[in-house]
A and B are shown apart, each in its own frame.
Chain A
Amino acid sequence: MSNSLVIARKEFKDILHSGIFLTVLLLLLALTVTSVIVSSFVFKSQVDSYQSSLQILKELGKQPGSPQPELFPLNLLRGVVDYLEIVGAILGILLGNLTIAREKNTQTLKLILTRPVSRKDLLFGKMMGNAVFIGIVLVFVGLFALLSLVFVAGVALTLTEAVKLVLVIAISWIYIMAFISLAAFLSLSMRSLSNALVVAFTIWLVFVLILPQIGDTMDPDNQVPRGFFNSIHFNKEQGKQVLTKFGSYENARNFIEELSVTKHYERTAFALLGIKPEFNGLPVPDILGQKWFDILVVILFFSAGILTNYSVLNKKDILVWD
């Protein structure tokens, strides 16, 4: 067995033995079920509301102005993506910090490197162990989402929808791995592990929560509870037409959002799940074709993390850890 595989197996076992595994897995599964339950009830409430409005219109001899809400099962998973982008990134930071902390605290890095183990083996072994763990967690999340859709919402997925769900899991895996490599890089570079953890959380705070939040609250349509254009009885097309006059403001808002890797992950996942209505019913290659830039940014973020880790690990002074 190659060195990388031995290290990966050890890394995976260490994660399983720590309390974090069960805590985070249970948390993510609970959040998945909660999201699907709430979304299902909201959808049922919308259908009931439509039916009662339809009844009133029929009694008045009028026709409904809008079609009945249509259920797209993957739409019910929007909350799951929100949780993966927030909690998944936290999980990544904790794992990335821990993977280095284990070696720093026990001072085993020097010992490992005195054996015929290259730094590349060490890095890839550690990343592989974490990657397998994240993969398993996400498979559980995907299965729970699937079961919740069947048993709570009472819907089954078509083959295309199942493929889209798998792709969402895949992009989520890359996204979380990117945070693992970021936290590992900080833990390798900084003397204090606690400081590295807090710096990683600060980066998480800025890129996962603050930048998307700024972009979201700058959206003119998000200024009143049911949407500004809705409040003045404008439809989406009319709203878009008005906003064309505010191009520079919208560009600035979009630029702020695009600074965040989380927004790129979210846009890809939302397109695959059909959260934006224009993506509902689109074939998978078309969605991937339209979202290639967002996918590329997430992959680049992950690749940059791996490269920086490798570069830090190759520095000679890494052996003077005490």
Chain B
Amino acid sequence: MNNIITIARHEIQSLFRERTFILLLAVFAAMTLASAYIGWSSQHTINQVYTAAAEQMRQSGKVAPSSPFADYPHLALLKNMIIYVIVIGGLLAISTAYSAGMRERKAGVLKLLFSRPVGKNDFLLGKLLGISFVLAVVMLLAAAISALSSAVLVSLNAQDMIHLFSFYGFSLVYLLGFAFIGFSSALVKEDEVMALLIPIIFWISITFVLPQLTSALYPTGSLNPTLPQTDILQSPILQTMHDAVYPFSISQHYKEAAATILNINAIGPDAQVHSGILNVVTTFCWMLLCLTASFIAVYSFDKSRW
């Protein structure tokens, strides 16, 4: 147990000393801060656009339909955060875990480490504990920034705060999956660039390719927090493709569950409202599957090789 704590503590200290980690963290924190303002500004403008459009309709003798933003929930101004977690958070998780997996290899101290009474279990659990703690701190920091910046722009009640912190807690589960893949790849791949490329290919597939197959979304369309239209899936072939791939489209499960947690998924006439529980369970399964991959990676790697 002591070994695990020592390795985890060393990992946490090393990560917070790394300039590249600090750089990505700064980008993530800056975007977290900006997301509330971007959301508020868009929301404010779209309401004015609706008022102008409704006025134009009234002048031409038409009846203006009700505003699609009439019951906009407070936390809707954070909808961009869902995308920033997927994009910036995903890469931050991969880069953090990749560094953790590579550190001893690069320093050439693996043999030395295992010459001491440290088992593979201690090594794995210590590393994973360190990575998880660091990502938890990142999510907590983001939650605090979001809570403060949102509170300045709109009035939030206690329930909103619970939703907000639950969202970041759930996001941590999603990000841990990528972190575990990044860590596994750093352990098993000999080539350093390939070790980074493999989790990035995973990330690209989950973020862009699977949503394209399930919802016919263009890759850059996946970066829009508004949930996709579903009428296109009336085509039998697209519907079949959707049914076959959707269970594996983790980023979509995350997006839908996160929108449910933030209470913003009912925006729009045909917005998809999938079972929240199913989405949350799928995201947990994804994280556990990646955790299993880390165990396999640690037990299969030859500690004498590096």
A contact residues vs B (CB 8 Å cutoff): 18-20, 23-24, 27, 31, 34-35, 38, 41-42, 44-46, 48-49, 78-79, 82-83, 85-87, 90, 94, 97-98, 101, 194-195, 197-199, 201-202, 205-206, 209-210, 212-214, 216-218, 220, 222-226, 228-229, 231-234, 238, 241-243, 245-246, 249, 266
Contacts and interface: CB of A to CB of B under 8 A. Distances in A.
Contact of B68 (A34, A48, A228): A228
The main secondary structure of chain A at its interface with chain B is helix
A212 B219 CA distance: 13
Contacts of B80: 213-214, 217
A24 B202 CA distance: 13
Nearest to B48: A246
Contacts of A83: 208, 219
B13 interface: no
A82 B46 contact: no
B216 interface: yes
A69 to B, nearest CB: 12
Contacts of A212: 220, 223
Contacts of A20: 193-194, 197
Given A82-B219, A199-B20, A233-B65, A49 B234 contact: yes
19 contacts: A23-B201, A34-B213, A41-B238, A85-B220, A94-B193, A202-B27, A205-B87, A217-B80, A217-B83, A217-B224, A218-B38, A223-B226, A225-B227, A225-B270, A226-B269, A232-B50, A232-B54, A242-B53, A245-B52
Contacts of B64: 232
Contacts of B27: 202, 205-206, 210
Contacts of A90: 200, 204
B209 interface: yes
Interface of B: 19-20, 23-24, 27, 31, 34, 38, 41-42, 45-46, 48-50, 52-54, 56-57, 64-65, 68-69, 80, 83-84, 87-88, 91, 95, 99, 102, 106, 191-194, 196-197, 200-201, 204, 208-209, 212-213, 216, 218-220, 223-229, 231-232, 234-235, 237-238, 241, 267-271
The main secondary structure of chain B at its interface with chain A is helix
Contacts of A101: 193
A49 B230 CA distance: 13
A25 to B, nearest CB: 13
Contacts of B216: 38, 41-42
Contacts of A243: 49
Given A195-B20, A243-B49, A246-B49, A225 B229 contact: yes
Nearest to A85: B220
Given A212-B220, A223-B226, A218 B41 contact: yes
Contacts of A202: 20, 23-24, 27
A217 B38 contact: yes
Contacts of B38: 214, 217-218
A45 B235 contact: yes
B184 to A, nearest CB: 17
Given A82-B218, A222-B226, A199 B212 contact: no
